[in-house]
Amino acid sequence: MKIEDPLDFFEDDMSFWTKLAEHAREQKEMQRMVLSSVGTEGKPQLRTMILRSLKPREKTLFFYTDSRSDKVEQWQKKPFCEALAYSHSNLMQLRLSGNIKILEQGDLFDQAKDGLVPHQHKDYNSKLAPGSIYDSSQAGLSETLNFALVQLQVEHLEILVLQPKGSEHFRWSYQYDKEGHLLKSTRLVP
């Protein structure tokens, strides 16, 4: 990616949110993000999750999960999350951080749950909980859908773009309030 005018490119943070939304919608590379939680003894835990949708204006990201998975309990105890999206084709890294809400009822939850296609149900209705020891006598699917919607309210975004062939690299930081309004944008040394 060749950046001709960095001020033009980075001062409008909305272009990054639009790009991330496009990757989610069109199943491009940044759709597969890495999200953190804090596990026992304060140790960080990371996992890949699919970005299902995004509200660019509100800076809200949505992911799906099994409500019995370890990360759900970890986020319920400590809702802070660092998330990473990386585009290999653009040599671009997005580091996002903010607070997680686990939604298991309400309009947003119903909409997401109703939008699941039948083959997606098997991601949320295994008899054994995710992470438990496999036991072939108990494996299989149940009638219960343990679906949860994970909402990340982003309060900080940091973009790093590496340019090939010795060209300048760029690092910018964006701070948001709890409604997703931009409070401050800052250019940083890469």
- Smallest distance, Å, CB 150 to ligand FMN? 8
Q: Cα separation of 70 and 39, whole Å?
A: 8
Burial of 142 per CB tally in 10 Å (0-12, 13-18, 19+): exposed
Q: Which stretch binds ligand FMN (CB under 6 A): 60-68, 135-143, 171-179, 181-189?
A: 60-68
Q: Cβ of residue 53: shortest distance to ligand FMN, in angstroms?
A: 12
Based on the shown chain and the rule CB under 6 A, indicate whether residue 49 belongs to the binding site for ligand FMN.
Answer: yes
What x-and-dash track marks residues 8-27 binding ligand FMN by CB under 6 A? Answer: --------------------
Kindly state whether residue 63 participates in binding ligand FMN, applying the rule CB under 6 A: yes
The CB density around residue 110, as the number of other CB atoms within 10 Å, is 12
Identify which of residues 48 and 136 has a Cβ nearer to ligand FMN in the complex.
48
Question: What is the distance between the alpha carbons of residues 62 and 147, in angstroms, rounded to a whole number?
Answer: 13
Strand 60-66 relative to strand 147-161, pairing? antiparallel
Query: Which residue among 70, 99, 163, 171 contacts ligand FMN (CB under 6 A)?
Result: 70
- Should residue 130 be labelled a site residue for ligand FMN when binding is judged by CB under 6 A? yes
Give the nearest distance from C-beta 185 to ligand FMN in angstroms: 30
| 48 versus 89: smaller Cβ distance to ligand FMN | 48
How would DSSP label each residue in 89-158?
Answer: TTTEEEEEEEEEEEESSSHHHHHHHHT--GGGGGGT-BSSPTTSPP-TTT-SB-S---EEEEEEEEEEEE
Q: Which residues of the shown chain bind ligand FMN in the complex (CB under 6 A)?
A: 32, 45, 47-50, 63-65, 69-71, 130-131
